[in-house]
Amino acid sequence: MLGYFVRRLLATIPVIAMVAFFVFALLYLTPGDPAAVIAGDIATVADIERIRHQLGLDQPLLPRFWSWASAVLHGDLGISIFTNLPVTQLIGQRVEPTLSLALCTLIVAVLVAVPMGVIAAWKAGKLIDRLVMLFSVAGFSIPVFVLAYLLIYLFAIELDWLPVQGYTPLHEGLWPWLRHLILPSIALGTIYIALIARITRATMLDVLAQDYVRTAHAKGLAPGVVLMRHALKNAAVPIVTVIGIGVALLISGVVVTESVFAIPGIGRLTVDAIIRRDYPIIQGVILIFSAVYVLVNLAVDLSYRLFDPRIQY
C-alpha cells in the first residue's frame, strides 16, 4: 500500500511538469508577439521591451524554463506585470474565499446528488426517475452564470432572502459566511450535481441487477439496508471517480461564479488578470489549479481501497 502510494505520488510529477512546461511554453508557441499583446494597444516600444524582459522572452525557451521552474519549486511564481507584487502573495490572499466556495459546493453537491441518483435508480422508470434525468440534462445545459443571475433575481432581488453579492470571511461568524455562499454554491453546484446524479443512477442500476442484491432482498432485509449497504457501497468506485473528474468543472465554474457574485477569490484574480493580460498571474493560477486537480484525483484513486477491499495495489 505504501509502495503504491509513493509510486502514484511520483507519477504525478511528470504530469504536473508537463502542465508547467505547457503553460510556460505557450508564451513562445503562440503566433505573434505575446509581449506586444500583453502590453496592449497604447504601449510604447519601451513598455513592450520591459515586458519582454520581465517574461524572459528575450532568452531562449529551455534555459528560461529551467530558471522559471526552479523558482516555482522554491515557491516563487513570478511577479505580476500590473501590480508588481509576487504572484504567490496575490494568490495567497485570495485562497480563503475560493476554498470556502469550492468546499461548500462539493459538500452540497455530493449530499444532494448521490441520494438523487440512488432514488432514481431505485424507482427506475417512475416519475421521480424521469424528473432526476430531466434535471440532469437541464443542469448540463444551463451555463453557470445564467443560473447564477436567475438565482440572484429570484432569491436576492424578488424574495430578498439572501444577499445579492459579496463575501464575508469565516472569522466574522459562521452564519454571515454561509449566507453569502448559499447562492454561489447552488449555481456552481448544479452542473456537478447533474454529473454525479447521472453516474450514481447508472452505476446503481447495474448493481441493483446483481444476484447478491436479489439474495439480500430475498432474505428479507429492509430495502434501505439493501440499497445503502449492499448496492451503494458496491457502486462507490465509479461515483467517487466522477466526483474527482468533476473537480475540473468546479474549478472552471469557480472563476465564473466568483465574478458574478463578486467574491474576492482566485477566480476574480484570474478575471482581473485576463482583462489586464497579466500573464504571470494566469500562469500561476493554472499551475496551482491543475496541481490541485491532479492531487484530488490521486486521492480518489487511493480511496478505492476503502470502498472495495478486493482492489489490490
Partner 1 sequence: MAVVTDALPAPVPVSRSPTWLRIRQALRRHPTALLGALMLLLLICMALLAPFLGTVDPQAISPVRRLREPSEMYWFGTDMLGRDVYSRVIYGARVSLAVGLTVAALATTIGLAIGLVTGFVRWLDGIVMRVMDGLMSIPGVLLAIALIALTKASLENVIIAIAVTEVPRVVRLIRSLVLSLREQPFVDAAIAAGTRTARILTRHILPNTVAPLLVQGTYICASAMLTEAILSFLGAGTPPNIPSWGNIMAEARSLFQIANYLIFFPGIFLSLAVLSVNLLGDGLRDALDPRLARNM
Q: Nearest-CA neighbor of 103 among 286, 298, 302, 265?
A: 265
**End-to-end CA separation in angstroms for the chain:** 6
Q: Cβ of residue 296: shortest distance to partner 1, in angstroms?
A: 10
Residue span binding partner 1 (CB under 8 A) among the ranges 18-26, 74-82, 178-186, 235-243: 18-26
Binding of residue 192 to partner 1 (CB under 8 A): no
Q: What is the DSSP letter of 86?
A: B
Integer angstrom CA distances of residue 106 from 42, 93, 248, 255, 275: 43, 22, 12, 15, 29
Q: How many CB atoms lie within 10 A of CB 46?
A: 9
Which of 70, 141, 210, 215 touches partner 1 by CB under 8 A? 141
| # binding residues, partner 1 (CB under 8 A) | 61
Q: Nearest-CA neighbor of 186 among 161, 204, 211?
A: 161
Residue span binding partner 1 (CB under 8 A) among the ranges 19-27, 99-107, 169-177, 215-223: 19-27
Q: Which amino acid is at 90?
A: L
Q: Which amino acid is at 52?
A: R
Binding of residue 260 to partner 1 (CB under 8 A): yes
Q: Which amino acid is at 195?
A: L
Mask 193-232, x = binds partner 1 (CB under 8 A)?
-----x--xx--xx--------------------------
Residue span binding partner 1 (CB under 8 A) among the ranges 26-34, 88-96, 104-112, 182-190: 26-34
Binding of residue 275 to partner 1 (CB under 8 A): yes
Q: Which is nearer to partner 1, 178 or 249 (CB)?
A: 249
Q: Which three cell numbers stand for residue 129?
A: 426517475
Residues 62 to 91 in contact with partner 1, rule: CB under 8 A: none
Give the whole-angstrom CA distance, residue 166 versus residue 91. Answer: 18
For the chain, list the strands marked E by DSSP.
none
Binding of residue 94 to partner 1 (CB under 8 A): no
Binding of residue 259 to partner 1 (CB under 8 A): yes
DSSP string, 30-42: SSS-HHHHHH-TT
Q: Is 210 left (phi over 0), alpha (psi -120 to 50) or beta?
A: beta
Radius of gyration of the chain (CA): 23
Binding of residue 161 to partner 1 (CB under 8 A): no
Which of 182, 256, 300, 302 touches partner 1 by CB under 8 A? 256
Q: Cβ of residue 220: shortest distance to partner 1, in angstroms?
A: 27
**Binding-site ranges for partner 1 (CB under 8 A):** 14-19, 21-23, 26-27, 30-32, 34, 37-38, 137-138, 140-146, 149-150, 152-153, 157, 164, 198, 201-202, 205-206, 248-249, 251-252, 255-256, 259-260, 270-271, 273-275, 277, 279, 282-283, 285-286, 289-290, 293-294, 297
